[in-house]
Amino acid sequence: MADQSGEPIIRVRGLVNRFGAETVHDGVDLEVFRGEVIGIVGGSGSGKSVLLRTIIGLNRPVAGNVEVLGSSILTMSDNDQREIEKHWGVLFQDGALFSSLTVAQNIEVPLKEYYDMPLRLLDEIAAFKVGIVGLPDGTGEKYPSQLSGGMRKRAGLARALALDPEIVFLDEPTAGLDPIAAGEFDILIRDLRSSLGLTVFMVTHDLDSLFAICDRVAVLVDKKIRVGTLEQLLQDSHPWIHSYFHGPRGRAALLSETGSRKEKMPAAASI
Amino acid sequence: MASATATLVEKEEPSSLILAAAGEWLVATAADLDQRLLALEVPTGRRVTFDLAGIDRLDTAGAWLLLRTEHDLAERGNAVEMRNLRPSFEPLIDQVRAAGIIAPARHPRPAHHTIAGFIARIGEVSLALIARAYSILGFFGVVSATALRLARHPRRVGMTAIVAQMEQTGVNALPIVGLLTFLIGVVIAYQGADYLRFYGLESYTVQLTAASILRELGVLLTAIIIAGRSGSAFTAQIGTMRVNEEIDAMRTIGLDPVEVLVLPRLFALMLTLPMLTLCANFMGIFGGGLMAWGVLGISIPEFFIHLSTISGWSFWIGMIKSPFFAIIIALIGCYEGFQVARSAESVGRLTTLSVVEAIFLVIVTDAGFSIFFSSMRI
C-alpha cells in the first residue's frame, strides 16, 4: 500500500494556471506517494487534465513548482527530461495511439527510443505487453482504427507500460467504456499496481473506479485541491464534494463497494 | 543514474545445471541478458535450476526473459525449476505468466517484393482505379439528382451557404490568383520577346501572351490553384465532419448531406471560378503588356491595336472551360471528403489524393477540350 512516510514521488507546490483571463488553478498543492493510486476528480472545466498535463511537462504553469522523482520538471534540462520520461507512462483519453503504426509497433516506439535491442526481442516484449493488458492474441498486428474504444485504451496502456515505468498517468481511463469493460479495466489497474509496484495518478469521473481502486482522492474545487482518503472526503462539508459523493450515483457506488472493500483493504478502514 | 547491471552465472552440479541470476533484471539490461540466455547450451534431458536469490530488481521484461527461457527449455524436454525467488517478486512473475507466451505480431510487409507480387499489385491498383472511377460517377449521379430535385424547390437553396463559400473560394483567392497570373504574363512576354526577336517578329509578343493566357494558361492556372486551395479545403472540411460523426448526425435530423454540404460548394465554385478566370486573364495580359512596354517599348495605343487582332473566341474558349473545371474540383473535393473513415489519418491522405486527382482530371479535360475546339476549327 501507499508508503506515506517516504518521500513523495510527485510533489506539486503553489501551482497557478491561467488561460487568458481565466484562472484554472490558484495555489494547488499535492503530494503523491510511492505505490499509491490517487484519483483526481472535479467538475467539468475544473482543470483535472490541465493538472495532469502540467505534471508531465506538457503545460507550463504561471507559477508554482512541480517535482517528479525528486527533480523539478519546470527547470530541468532536456537530457534530464528524457531520463525522467523513462520512469513514467501516460495513457491519454482515447489511447493516442500512432495511427500509422500497428499496436505492436506502437508499443515498440518507446523501447526503440531508449534502448538498443534486437528486433526479435522488441517483438517479443511487445507481444507479452499485449497479453499483460488483456488483449487477445493477434491484436499486435492490428491498426488502431481496427480496434474498439476499450481495446484502444488497453493498447494505450500497453504502450504506457512499455518501459516498465514507476508512475503511470491515466486520463479518464474508463470514460466511454461499458460498465463491464470499465470494471475489468479497474481490476487490471489494481493487479498491475500490486504486481509491478506502480504509482497510479488517475483523472477520472467514474465513481465506481474511485471506490474500487483509489487509495486517496484529490478533489479540485474553487481552483484549489482537497486531498484525503475516501472516508475523509465522505465527511467533507464542502457543497460540491458533498453532492458528488452523496448524490444518488455516489451512494450507489459506495454501497456496492464497501462490503468488498473492508475485506480487501483492512488498512484503509483504520486510517 | 548508474547504469543497471545483471549477471547470469552457469554452475555444473551432478544433479542439474545451476543458473544463478543476479543483479537488476530490467528492461535496461534486457538486450544483454537476451543474448546470454539465447547463447546457453543445455544438453537435452539435463535438469536446469534457476537460482534467483541474487535478483535485486525485476520488471516485466526481466520476468519475461526468465519465463521465456523456462518455456523454451521445457519444450526441448529439459526439466526446469526456479527457486529462491524473493516473495515480493512473485505477483509480478504470476502476472507475466498469466499473459502467456504469445507469438510476436507479424509486421505488415508490402507484397510486391516478388515479381508475381509486383504484377498482382498492378492488377489490384488497376481494379481499384476502375472501382474508384465507377464510384465517382455514382457520386456525380447522386449530386445531379439532388440538384434537379432542388431545382423544383428553389426556396430550399441555401443562399447563405453559397455566399459564404463564394467568399472563401473566390474573394479570398483573388490575391494569389491575381499575383501568380500577373507573374506568368510577365514571364511569357519576356521569354516570348526573346524568341520572336530572333525572327524579327517581336511586335507579336502581345498577341502571343494574350492568346496563350486567354485560351489556356489563365483558366488552367486558376483551376490548379483552386484545386490546391479550395478542393483540398472541401475534402478536409467534409472529412473532419465524417470523423466527428457530424454527417451521421445530419442524416438523423433529416438533412441531406449532399444538399447541405456539396451543392453550396459546387454552385459557389461554378460561379467563382469563371470570375477568378476573368481576373486571371486580365492580370496576365496586364503583366504581359507591362513587359512589352518596358522591354519592347510598345505604347499603350499600340498594345490595344495588337490586342484587338485576337479573335473573341480565344477569350470564350477559356471562359467556357472554367465552369467544367469548377465541377470537377468541387465534385472530387467533396467525394474524397465523404470517403474519410473514422480515423483522422485518412483525412490527410484523402486531402492529398483529392488535389492530385482534381488536377489530373482538369488537365485531361483540358486536353479533351483542345481536341474538340480544334476539330471545330476555332
The alpha carbon torsion through A107, A108, A109, A114 (nearest 10 deg) reads: 120
Cβ distance of B34 and A121 shorter than 8 Å: yes
Among the partner-chain residues B61, B106, B342, the one whose CB lies closest to the CB of A145 is B342
Reported as half-sphere exposure (CB side, CA atoms, 13 A), residue B140 has a value of 11
Angle between helix axes B174-198 and B205-212 (nearest 10 degrees) is 140
Residue A268 predicted with pLDDT over 50 = no
Q: Which of A124-128, B4-8, B265-269 has the least mean pLDDT?
A: B4-8
What is the C-alpha to C-alpha distance for residues B174 and B323, in angstroms, rounded to an integer?
17
Tell me if A38 sits within 8 A of A12, measured CB to CB. no
pLDDT score of B133: 92
Q: Quick check: A258 pLDDT over 50?
A: yes
Instruction: Determine, for residues A132 and B99 on separate chains, whether the beta-carbon distance falls below 8 Å.
Output: yes
A17 pairs with which residues across the strands?
A: A25
Residues of B in contact with A99 (CB under 8 A): 343-345
Tell me: pLDDT of B66 over 90.
Answer: no
Q: Which of B3, B27, B340 to mutate to test the interface with A (most CBs of A within 10 A)?
A: B27
Q: Are strands B17-25 and B48-58 parallel, antiparallel or unpaired?
A: parallel
**Relative orientation angle of helices A149-160 and A103-114, to the nearest 10 degrees:** 20
Contacts of B345 in chain A (CB under 8 A): 99-100, 145
Q: How far apart are CA B378 and CA B372, in angstroms?
A: 9
Which residue, B307, B357, B282, is CA-closest to B132?
A: B357
Interchain proximity A115–B345, CB inside 8 Å: no
Q: Is A192 on the interface with B (CB under 8 A)?
A: yes
Is B87 in CB contact (< 8 Å) with chain A? Answer: no
CA distance to partner chain B, nearest, from residue A96 (Å): 11
On the CB side of A51, CA atoms within 13 Å amount to: 36
> Do A164 and B60 contact (CB within 8 A), yes or no?
yes
Q: In this structure, are residues A219 and A225 in contact, taking their beta carbons and an 8 Å threshold?
A: yes
The size of chain B, in residues, is: 378
Element at A41 (helix H, strand E): strand A37-42
3-class DSSP state of B198? helix
Average pLDDT, rounded, for chain A: 83
Which among B30, B105, B345 is the nearest to A127, CB-wise? B105
If one counts every other C-beta atom within 10 angstroms of the C-beta of residue B264, the result is 21
How far is B104 from B318, CA to CA, in rounded Å?
60
Cell output for B139: 457520386
Q: CB of A97 within 8 A of CB of A155? A: yes
Rounded to the nearest angstrom, the minimum Cα separation between B137 and chain A is 28
What pLDDT was estimated at residue B289?
A: 92
Q: What whole-number distance in Å separates Cα of residue A42 and Cα of residue A202?
A: 12
Report the run of H or E that residue A105 belongs to, with start and end: helix A103-114
Size of interface A-B (CB pairs under 8 A): 94
Closest approach of chain B CAs to the CA of A69, in angstroms? 12
Cell of A15: 501551482
pLDDT at position B275: 96
Q: Strand order in A71-72's β-sheet? A: A22-33, A8-19, A63-68, A71-72
CA distance A190 to B95: 12
Locate the DSSP E strands across B17-111: 17-25, 48-58, 80-83
**Distance between CA atoms of residues A191 and B92, nearest Å:** 9
| Prediction ipTM score | 0.75
A interface test, pick of B3, B35, B60 with most A CB neighbours within 10 Å = B60
d(CA A133, CA B71): 21
Residue B135 reports pLDDT greater than 90: yes
Which three cell numbers mark A195?
504486481
Give the pLDDT of residue B1: 41
pLDDT tens-digit map of B185-228: 999 999 998 888 889 888 888 999 999 999 999 999 999 999 99
| Helix (H) / strand (E) containing A221 | strand A216-221
Residue B55 DSSP SS3: strand
Query: Please, are residues B333 and B231 in contact by the beta-carbon 8 Å criterion?
Result: yes
CA B363 and chain centroid, separation: 20
Reported as a pLDDT band with limits 50, 70 and 90, residue A259 is: low
Q: Does B4 touch chain A (CB under 8 A)?
A: no
Quote the DSSP letter at residue A100. Answer: T
Mean pLDDT for B341-357 is: 88
Tell me if B343 and A140 make a contact (CB, 8 A cut-off): no
d(CA A131, CA B169): 51
Of B27, B60, B108, Cβ closest to residue A115:
B27
Question: How many angstroms away from the CA of B300 is the closest CA of chain A?
Answer: 57
Whether the CB of A248 is below 8 Å from some CB of chain B: the reply is no
- The strand pair at A63-68 and A71-72 is best described as antiparallel
Measured distance CA(B182)–CA(B284) in Å, rounded: 4
Report helix angle B312-338 to B115-152, nearest 10: 110
Check CB contact under 8 Å for B1 and A83. Answer: yes
A220 pLDDT more than 70:
yes
Write down the pLDDT at residue A267: 44
What's the CA gap between A179 and A162, in Å, rounded? 27
User: Residue A22 in 3-state DSSP?
Assistant: strand
B317-345 mean pLDDT: 92
Map residue B301 onto helix, strand or coil.
Answer: helix
The residue behind cell 483523472 is: A203
Q: Does residue A124 sit at the B interface (CB-CB below 8 Å)?
A: yes
Residue B346 in 3-state DSSP? helix
Amino acid at A112: K
Q: Is A259 on the interface with B (CB under 8 A)?
A: no
Taking a C-beta distance cutoff of 8 angstroms, is the pair B318, B277 a contact?
yes
Q: Do B104 and A163 touch (CB under 8 A)?
A: no
Confirm or reject contact between B299 and chain A (CB < 8 A). no
Query: Are the Cβ atoms of B105 and A191 closer than 8 angstroms?
Result: no
Q: Is A195 an interface residue toward B (CB < 8 Å)?
A: yes
CB of A44 less than 8 A from some CB of B:
no
Contacts of A145 (CB under 8 A, 6+ apart): A99, B341, B342, B343, B345
Which residue of A131, A139, A191 is in closest CB contact with B100?
A131
How many whole angstroms separate alpha carbon A257 and alpha carbon A254?
A: 5
What's the rounded Cα separation, in Å, for the pair A69 and A87? 9
CA distance to partner chain B, nearest, from residue A138 (Å): 6
Q: What pLDDT is attached to residue B102? A: 67
**What is the spatial distance between Cα B310 and Cα B303, in angstroms, rounded to a whole number?**
12
The identity of residue B277, as a single letter, is: T
Number of Cβ within a 10 Å radius of residue B42: 17
Residue B84 backbone class (left: φ over 0; alpha: ψ -120 to 50; beta: rest): left
Residue for grid cell 483542345:
B370
Q: Are A197 and A227 in contact (CB under 8 A)?
A: no
Supply the pLDDT for residue B131. 94
Q: Closest to B92 (Cβ–Cβ): which among A105, A116, A195?
A: A195
Least confident of A168-172, B36-40, B317-321, B335-339: B36-40
User: A65: part of which helix (H) or strand (E)?
Assistant: strand A63-68
Residues 152-191 of A with CB under 8 A from B: 161, 163-164, 191
Within 13 Å and on the Cβ side, how many CA atoms surround A82?
8
Residues A43-56, mean pLDDT to the nearest whole number: 87
- Write the burial class of residue A157 (CB in 10 Å: 0-12 exposed, 13-18 middle, 19+ buried): buried
Instruction: Tell the residue number behind the cell numbers 543476479, with chain if given.
Output: B22
> Which pLDDT belongs to residue A260?
55
SS3 B152: helix
pLDDT at B3: 62
Does any CB of chain A come closer than 8 Å to the CB of residue B99? yes
The DSSP H or E segment spanning A199 is strand A199-203
